[in-house]
Structures are given as structure tokens and as C-alpha cells.
Structure 1
Amino acid sequence: MSEAVARHWRSGHVDVEFLPVGAGSYHWRASTPKRPPLFVTVDDLDRKPFLGADADTVYARLRSALETARALRQSGMEFVVAPIEGRDGNVLSRIGRRYALAVYPYLGEPRAFGNALTAEERVALKAMLVRLHAAPKAVASLPRSVPAEVPFRRELELALDSVNTAWEDDQYSRAARPLLAANAAAIRGWLERFDELVRISSADNVDVVITHGEPHSGNIVRSGTHFALVDWDTVGLAPRERDLWLVGGGEPQLCELYRLRWRLDDLSSSVRVLLSPHDPDGDPERALRVLRISIEREPFTRD
């Protein structure tokens, strides 16, 4: 890791310290004498299904997302924590087939996920989103359109169809199956409502803007006296309610769509892991916990 950072971003010896934070990515703090520390992120291209089905597609879309973040920052949006260009001018470096490395300013320890937004953070986040959603046209042409989809819908529907048959016999599947069985009708109702709301969102009069995609509490950091937004791999063109459902405002049915989309995203992703408990990249204990929260939390939120 230190060699990769030295080769592309910093000359000389680089000390790196692993930071056990985040999900789907790996993080380090990189230090060199007499220079500010860096925050190093390595993304697993096989674990970002929202960006594509294969590593090459994921890499291309991740690079485009980070280039969008760079353009947003260069346009005057100082709250966007964008990657630092390497010596070759690129914001992302491929490491073999499966991984990609990016480097950011170090702003302190990343915040844990799952904390509710404070009143101060909520006000700051709304102000940042207003500016983001009004991004200049030159920047708004960069990101891809992000349709409202359930990433592992097929796996979720398969699980609902098989709740009365035997799953793989492990402790997590045994706990998950009756939970799904007891709530199968409600989940199918959520899927039907989701499809109805998608049709509404496809109307010609729905504006699309640059959205962050995941502006929850875990992606807000304090930088000096100001707040900033990190983790821009989810950036994309969509109705502004893709962001606003978390903080209030926007058209109610579209906010309902994106709230429901996140609920079904968490449900389907956790079910996918629980259907394959021996996948070395899976975490069935966490998946079972997410499954329970996704079903039982009312109102559902990502805070």
C-alpha cells in the first residue's frame, strides 16, 4: 500500500495505518514527513453491484463518479470531499483485476454509520444539498443516470417463494426464514408499491439533478468549522428526492419511492448473503441484523 501511494501520490517513504471502518472498501491513513496525512481508500470492484455486474464496468463507473466529485469541487462546492489527482492526473488507480485505489485529504476518523443526524448536521446537510442540486450544467452532464432499482430483487423474490421449504441449515438461515415468512405479505406489498412509484417517477415532468445518493450521517464529516460530504461513488442524475427523503422536503410520493428503495435494497442485500452463508465475502451475522432492522424499523430511515 505504501508503495502504491508513493508511486502515484507522494514521493519517498510513506507510513500507512489500517483503519477498520466502512463497508465494501478498505481504508488507511498515510503519512509522510512534514506533509498533511492522506486518507487512502481501496475499493473491492467485486463488491459494488450498484455500479455494475463486472469489475471493468464497476471501475469505469467508479472513476466517472470520482471525476464528477472532482468537477463539483472545482466548480466551487467546497463541501465536496473529492479525490486528489495522482501524478498522472487520474483520480483512481487500478490494482490488479479486483481493486481500485483513491486518495483523499485526511479529515479525521470516519464517523460510524447508524447515528442519527444532529440538528446542526441536518441544517448543514440541507444547505449542501440545495447547492448540489443546483450544480452548473457543465458539471451536471458528467454523471450517469441512476434509475430507482432493487439491486437483488430476484434473490429477494426467490427467498419469499421458498420460505416454506428448507434453506441451507445454518444458524443464520434458520433465524431468517421464519422472519421472512411472517412478513412475506408485507414485503410483497412493498415491492408492488415500489413498482407503482417507479411508474410515477418516470413521468416527463420530473426533474433530474445531480444527487449524492447516500447523504446519511455516516457520510458527513466536520472539516474545521464547516461540514463536508464524503463517499461520492453513488453520485448520479436522479430526482432530488433521492437525497431529500433523508432530510425532508421534496415531492411526497418521490420521497416515499426512495425511502422504500433503500428499505428493499437493505432487505435484498441481506437476503442474498443469508442464501449463501458460506460466501467468504459475506457477513451473515450482520446480514441477519440488517434484515431485522429493514423489516421492523418504522419509519424506516438510514440515519
Structure 2
Amino acid sequence: MLERPVLSDEKIIACLRDEYGLKVAKIVFLPLGADMNTAVFRADADDSTPYFVKLRSGHFDAIAVDVPKFLFDQGISQIIAPMPTRSGQLSARLDAFNLILYPFVEGQSGWEKNLSDQDWIVFGRALKAIHATILAPTLATRISQETYSPYWRELVRQFQTQVEAETFADPVAADLAMLLKAKQSEINHLIKRAEDLGAVLRGQRSQFVLCHSDIHVGNILMNNSSDDLYIVDWDQPLLAPKERDLMFIGAGIDGRGEYAEHDERLFYEGYGQTAVDPVALAYYRYERIVQDIAAYCQQLLLTDEGGEDRREGLRQITSQFQPGAVIDIAYRTEKRLPPELQSKL
């Protein structure tokens, strides 16, 4: 969230005191991230110890804090575990928000700073450890499983119908409507490819592992004072084929499409040799693009709220259609499919 939510410092400080026993001397809003439902702050305690405060509005599932805590307890050092409240909970309620407290790591995300060669290797090792994790049964049953749902595809079709029928006074919404109309044929193609590949995957048996499900480089945090990196923002963990996460490596979502082969080589040096299903990889790259289109339509067409987040959202969805960006990379991924399958699509 780029603009601060309507919530006073005093309320946040009081919550930290009452729920965590933390005496805060100063709190500062951090304009980070594209998620309009998440606001983050730095809180400095009386003893100058810094903490990272995350406020999450809307639906909140405790699995988003329980999974990283479990992984941290398994010894995966690239995880930052949420801190418990006085009563042992991993979050606290504050008005319309769920508040989550973490140790503060002074660092930069992969949006702000390119991962080094060693970072890519460490990232690969960490993700392999996550995918190999054996979950406690009581935790595993609470994590959603992949169903190859048509939800996002149907939602995009609804927005395509909406922009044909409505006019928008808000300039950002109007620009997005123009983009959807101009790219209608290409968007329809993306939806069709995701549908066809999803149908193939539903008909085959795949091994499901614990996936982060949104593991682009913006969710990689690199420590400024050490070589450590962390995988953050576990809002939607998923049991799915490993390609659900692997599709992000070299997909161009980080704006590094021209370095895709370089990044993939280093990542897999850390992850290790593995058989990657080209059908699943292509499906997830198409489906992610469709999901992004739907999410930005929700953000920009259903409300005029959001301030600077709106203009940034429009910039991000527009960039996906640029030459060499995520859509072009998805097309190239499809070309890796077996010829007999390509002929049926």
C-alpha cells in the first residue's frame, strides 16, 4: 500500500503495548507494496529495537502466519517468523485490521535491488527446502489445494463485458477500459490457453508440495548488513505442483525477462536437478497473467479509491503487454510443450 490507511499512530502503539507488551517510542508508515489490503510500518521500541508491523484488512486466514512459523521452526533460516502476542497468538485484532509483528530487517526487496548470483543460488536452496517440507497433518489440512479453478478467467470475461457497456469518469479506470478493449483478442487467447492447459492438468496426477504461490522477487528480502535473504509475504500458501512456484523463475514478472536464462541457471544450481512439467509451467504462467488482469480490474474498475496505488496498478498491468515482458515469455514457454499437445491446443 502506497498511501497510509486511516488509523492513528496512537491506536497502533496501544495495540502493540496491550497485545505484545511492547513499549513503542516511534512508529513510521512505510509506503511499500502493491497490495491495497496491506499496510506496513516500522516501530521503534523504547530501547531502540526496531520491529516490522503489518496491518492486513479484509479476509484474514491464520494460515498466513502459521505456515511461516512452522517453516522457521523446521530450521529454514530464510523465513522470518511472526512474533507471538502475550497470549501466544501470531496476530492481534485492531479495528478492521489484523496486526502481525515481526523482527525488523533493514533490507531491500528484489523490486528495489537485483538479486546477486549467490542470492539466486540461496533462493533456489531455500525453495527446495520448502517444497521438501513434510507438513504436520493438522497444518496441511488447513492449506488450500490446487483445483485449476476457472474463477479468474470468468472474472476477466465479466470485466471485458463491463468495459464494453460502461463509461468511466475516473481517468485511471478509463485508461484501463481502453487497454482491455485494445487487447481483447490477446486477452481472450490468454484465457483460452489457461483453460486448455488447466484441463490437461486436471486429467493427470501430480505430486502436490507446499508452495508460496506468489514468490516473485518482490517477496524476496535481502539484508543490507549481511548476505542473508528471506522469503516473505505468505498470504496464500497452497498445496500444488512445484511448478506453481517454479513458474516465477525466468517468467519476467520482475522485469528481468532479458536475463531469464541467467537467473534460471543460478536458481537451479541451488534448487538442484528436477523434472519440470512443461504443461504445468505454461499453465501457471498464463493463469498468473489472467489473475493479474482480474485483480487490477477489481482494484481500478470497482472503486475510485486508492490514490497513488491506482496509477501504479495501471502501470503494472500495462507493462505486461510490452515486448519481452510476461506475456511474450508465456508464449515462449508454450513452445516447450510436446508437439503432439501443441497441435491440440
Common fold, TM-score beyond 0.5? yes
Structure 2 residue aligned with 1:26: 39
Relative distance call for 1:273 and 1:222 in structure 2 (3 A) is closer
Structure 2 residue aligned with 1:129: 127
**1:202 equivalenced with 2:202 (yes/no):** yes
Relative distance call for 1:94 and 1:110 in structure 2 (3 A) is farther
Structure 2 residue aligned with 1:264: 290
Structure 2 residue aligned with 1:102: 100
Relative distance call for 1:12 and 1:177 in structure 2 (3 A) is closer
**1:85 equivalenced with 2:84 (yes/no):** yes
Residue 273 of structure 1 is aligned with which of 299, 304, 309?
299
SS at match of 2:183: helix
- How far residue 256 of structure 1 moved from its aligned partner, in angstroms, is 1.2
In the TM superposition, 1:236-247 aligns within 5 A as 236-247=238-249
Structure 1 residue aligned with 2:21: 10
Structure 2 residue aligned with 1:294: 320
- How far residue 230 of structure 1 moved from its aligned partner, in angstroms, is 1.1
Q: TM-score, normalised by structure 2?
A: 0.74
Calculate percent identity across the aligned residue pairs: 21
- How far residue 143 of structure 1 moved from its aligned partner, in angstroms, is 2.6
Relative distance call for 1:19 and 1:198 in structure 2 (3 A) is same
Structure 1 residue aligned with 2:254: none
- How far residue 91 of structure 1 moved from its aligned partner, in angstroms, is 0.5
SS at match of 2:56: strand
- In 2, Cα distance between equivalents of 1:275 and 1:245: 28
In the TM superposition, 1:243-258 aligns within 5 A as 243-247=245-249, 248=264, 250-258=276-284
The letter for the 2-side match of 1:18 is F
- How far residue 14 of structure 1 moved from its aligned partner, in angstroms, is 4.1
Relative distance call for 1:227 and 1:287 in structure 2 (3 A) is closer
Q: TM-score, normalised by structure 1?
A: 0.83
The letter for the 2-side match of 1:136 is I
- In 2, Cα distance between equivalents of 1:29 and 1:284: 24
Give aligned pairs, total: 287
- How far residue 4 of structure 1 moved from its aligned partner, in angstroms, is 0.8
- In 2, Cα distance between equivalents of 1:138 and 1:166: 49
Structure 1 unpaired stretches of 5+? 46-57
- In 2, Cα distance between equivalents of 1:104 and 1:124: 22
Structure 2 residue aligned with 1:119: 117
Cα deviation, 1:225-280, whole Å, max 9, x if unaligned, reads 32211111122211111110122572121111111122111111222333235245
252-261 or 286-295, larger mean C-alpha shift: 286-295
- In 2, Cα distance between equivalents of 1:237 and 1:108: 31
Question: How well do the aligned residues superpose, as a CA RMSD in angstroms?
Answer: 2.7
